[in-house]
Amino acid sequence: MTGSTTGVPQAHRTAWWARAARATWRYVRRAPGTYIWLAILLVTTEVIRHVDAATADRILHRRSTNLHHLQVSPVRVLATSALWIAGGGWLSYFALYNLFHVPAERWLGTLRWISVAMLAHVGATYLSEGLLGWAIHRGLAAPRAVYTLDYGVSYALAGVVGVLTYLIVRPWRYLYLAGVLAVYVVGVFQGRDYTGIGHLSAALIGLACYPLTRR
């Protein structure tokens, strides 16, 4: 009797873990691109955590989409800058990716989802850095600003946040849109830097991707 009573709970626990694993895999495989991206971000975040400050600075500067790198190696930095997290921890981005990227990838499909994310990433980078270049040319910013550190996944995220407007049914769509615009417009005035302009630009690019949402 002792073996029977202890074996049943063990069997139940094993079955529960098996069901949980299957459910998790079903959830993940419906948005493969999002979770591959998160896995890469986890690796790069751990790399930065385990190197000294000088090495981390060199790694991130090589992947910065600043004006200098956009002139000499634009493809390389535009691709690699989206593989590192700027500000916040990996867990916070895990939550944000599940909240925004996962539903967007499931809705649009992986190809159109990543197209929106990359259009926002590239477009907002060039818009914000182009404005910085104009400011440098006009003497409104220091010439050394061409080497400003600029990397991360937030522009791509803002673009996906924007395009998700079209997934929400009316009239809640307009409330969501008002909230998105309010967050990014306030960010421009609070930050008073070119990154805030980049985030707003990325959200607007996401909104402009409406044709990609039509099946």
pLDDT tens digit string along 61-75?
Answer: 888 998 999 999 999
The Cα angle at residue 37 between residues 33 and 39, in degrees rounded to 5: 120
Same domain assignment for residues 18 and 119: no
- My answer on whether 23 and 41 are in the same domain is no
What total of structural domains would you count in the chain?
Answer: 2
Considering the domain architecture, whether residues 72 and 134 belong to the same structural domain is answered as yes
DSSP letters of 140-191?
Answer: SS-GGGGG-----SHHHHHHHHHHGGGGSPTTHHHHHHHHHHHHHHHHHHHH
Same domain, 5 and 57: no
So what's the pLDDT on residue 208? 96
Dist CA 91 CA 64 (whole Å): 23
Same domain, 82 and 173: yes
Same domain, 17 and 102: no
Residues 64 and 150 in one domain: yes
What is the reported pTM? 0.86
Query: Is residue 130 located within the same domain as residue 89?
Result: yes
Name the residue range of residue 116's domain: 32-213
Written as tens digits, the pLDDT of the chain (215 aa) is 344 445 557 767 777 677 777 777 777 777 899 999 999 999 999 999 888 888 888 888 888 998 999 999 999 999 999 999 987 789 999 999 999 999 999 999 999 999 999 999 999 999 999 999 999 988 888 888 888 888 889 999 999 999 999 999 989 999 999 999 999 999 888 877 788 999 999 999 999 999 998 86
129 and 50 part of one domain:
yes
Claim to verify: residue 146 and residue 187 sit in the same structural domain:
yes
Residues 18 and 83 in one domain: no
Q: Do 24 and 124 fall within a single domain?
A: no
